[in-house]
Amino acid sequence: MIVVGAGFGGIAVAAELLRHGLDDVTLLEAAPAPGGTWHHNRYPGAACDVPSHLYSYSFAQRPDWTHLFSHQPEILAYLRRTADSLGITPRIVTGTEVTACTWDDRTCTWTVRSRRTDTTGPYEERVADALVLATGQLDKPSFPAVEGLSRFAGRSFHSARWDDTYDLRGKRVAVIGTGASAAQLVPEIAPQAARLTVFQRTGNWFLPRSDRPTPALLARVLRRLPVARRAWRGLLHHGIELITLCVRHPRTVGRIGAALSAAHMRRQLPDPELRRKAWPDHPFGCKRVLLSSDFLPALRRPNTELVTDRIVRMEPEGPVTADGRRHDVDCVIYATGFRTNTFMLPMRVTGRGGRSVEEAWSDGAQAHLGITVSGFPSMFLMYGPNTNTSGGSILFFLEAQAGYVRRALQLTLRTGAAALDVRAEAQARGLERLRARFAGTAWTACTSWYRTADGRNVANWPGYMGEYAERTRRVDPSEYHLIRAPRP
Ligand code: N01
């Protein structure tokens, strides 16, 4: 079994397989070290807006998180320690970028082609009975489609590829974008920069985030009592899903969410002009609701300006906005998110009969339960299409997927099959049910990274975490073709 990616998804599936004695597992990771998104996103203030005790594996509970919401270094250290303690680290081949995965109908195996990222050496090939693509949904930085971007003469970098050799102190800095990454980094860099200009295209809904050390009494109880940890996780699980409840019921619950958010935002933005500029123009929950108690106050600083006029082009001195103003800066930080809805692409993935994933997804990315794709036998996706959550912990989904992959492999072994391939009808039926569930939800009410240009949501699971766990609890053999190995 080859697993592509050694972030939370890849490590979750490796842990599940090893725990069940399926120990022929190799993980290929393009980065020089494991960690996935937490390896790459090292911008100042990088943290998780899901509470620490929920944003951690159920099978590797850490009793002593220092903060209610963990910061990147602590999460990355936790993930690497977990991989070490479960014997996964020695199975990870880092600095190895997978470029192509090809199914062979004759041998019923996958050939995985890769190249070393630190040399110009030849391509390597590995053969596996099964393939897990754990490359995530948010791994390819996206830059704005603005004329003349490369003309900028100062320093520039993306939030997910932070340049820590560059000292922002005393500099004139532009941050483009006001999503979850910007909401975390702006408060950190605002006190350093001489001047900070934040370019916002769309305002956001905010809820408070209690970014503080775990209170001493709670920390003591959680450290000592596993039962208290389980109860705390349960509480957080249901608490965080209130956002999903709001998104699913925008006319009723969504209004309450919006009112709470509006009260928080009004408190944080007493100046009516700044409030008007920062205010969202879309329903609560349509885009990701941002959890932050320090982004809006950072906009009030005397050295910070929020610009809402569109950037029309980039000049060597800085961005020019639609009002004709040029904003001269020393550094531009692109907090402009990721190329989404493409999943493992542009990796070349070729399935049965030489059919590529692009062909299979000509109508938009899709997978049965977000995991298996018809025509791509024994290939499994972690954090695949329609498994993102805007009110939940992605780790919950990853663990459900890891369990499903393991059960699918056990089914293959038990039945003496060489591979299994989800039936096209099962995939289509599931997709139809899934798409119907978006109707009437807040997700459909604006453009966001969750949706394709023609409005289909291919990123999010439309329901609650428990429903996903329920749907993936067993592999239904009637939904799969079991492929027999050809006789030699
Ligand atoms: O990216 P985004 P992100 N001019 O796509 C703007 C996860 N995450 O990196 O809203 C001006 O949300 C764009 O504007 P608009 C989380 O799932 C998790 O912040 O499209 N602005 C938007 O404001 C999150 O959802 C954590 O109009 C331009 C911003 O750039 C996902 O990652 C922390 C522009 C991009 O926001 C992505 O978050 C951080 C232009 N030309 C991230 N083009 C946790 O805490 C784009 N924008 C777990």
pLDDT at 487: 67
**176 Cα to the center of ligand 1, angstroms:** 10
Beta strands in 7-150 (DSSP E): 26-28, 92-93, 96-104, 109-116, 124-128, 131-133
Q: Whose CA is nearest to atom 40 of ligand 1?
A: 144
Condensed to tens digits (0 to 9), the pLDDT of residues 366-425 reads 999 999 999 999 999 999 999 999 889 999 999 999 999 999 999 999 999 999 999 999
Which ligand 1 atom is at minimum distance from the Cα of 390? 17
Which ligand 1 atom is at minimum distance from the Cα of 336? 30
C-alpha 164/C-alpha 146 separation (Å) is 25
Q: Whose CA is nearest to atom 3 of ligand 1?
A: 337
Evaluate whether the domain defined by 2-139+341-483 bears CATH number 3.50.50.60: yes
Which ligand 1 atom is at minimum distance from the Cα of 146? 41
Which ligand 1 atom is at minimum distance from the Cα of 180? 19
Which ligand 1 atom is at minimum distance from the Cα of 202? 27
β-sheet with 348-350: strand ranges across: 124-128, 109-116, 96-104, 348-350
**180 Cα to the center of ligand 1, angstroms:** 6
Residue with tokens 């009723």: 252
**52 Cα to the center of ligand 1, angstroms:** 22
Residue type, 350: T
Q: Whose CA is nearest to atom 7 of ligand 1?
A: 180
Q: Whose CA is nearest to atom 41 of ligand 1?
A: 144
Q: Whose CA is nearest to atom 6 of ligand 1?
A: 177
Average predicted confidence (pLDDT) for the chain? 96
**pLDDT grade for 364, boundaries at 50, 70 and 90:** very high
With 0-12 / 13-18 / 19 or more C-beta atoms within 10 angstroms meaning exposed / middle / buried, residue 457 is: buried
Decide: pTM greater than 0.90: yes
Condensed to tens digits (0 to 9), the pLDDT of residues 169-199 reads 999 999 999 999 999 999 999 999 999 999 9
Condensed to tens digits (0 to 9), the pLDDT of residues 52-93 reads 999 999 999 998 999 999 999 999 999 999 999 999 999 999
**19 Cα to the center of ligand 1, angstroms:** 36
**72 Cα to the center of ligand 1, angstroms:** 18
Condensed to tens digits (0 to 9), the pLDDT of residues 222-260 reads 999 999 999 999 999 999 999 999 999 999 999 999 999
HSE (side-chain half, CA atoms, 13 Å) at 193 = 27
Give the chain's length.
Answer: 488
Residues within 6 Å of ligand 1 by CB: 48-50, 138, 144, 146, 176-182, 184, 199, 201-202, 288, 311, 335-338, 449
Q: Whose CA is nearest to atom 9 of ligand 1?
A: 337
Residue with tokens 């004709």: 324
**Mutate-to-test residue for ligand 1 from 178, 205, 293, 443, highest number of ligand atoms within 8 A of CB:** 178
Condensed to tens digits (0 to 9), the pLDDT of residues 370-380 reads 999 999 999 99
Where, residue-wise, is CATH 3.50.50.60 in the chain?
2-139+341-483, 149-205+270-334
Q: Whose CA is nearest to atom 37 of ligand 1?
A: 337
Residue with tokens 């805007």: 390
**pLDDT grade for 118, boundaries at 50, 70 and 90:** confident
**334 Cα to the center of ligand 1, angstroms:** 10
Which CATH architecture is the domain 149-205+270-334 placed in? 3-Layer(bba) Sandwich (3.50)
pLDDT at 300: 98
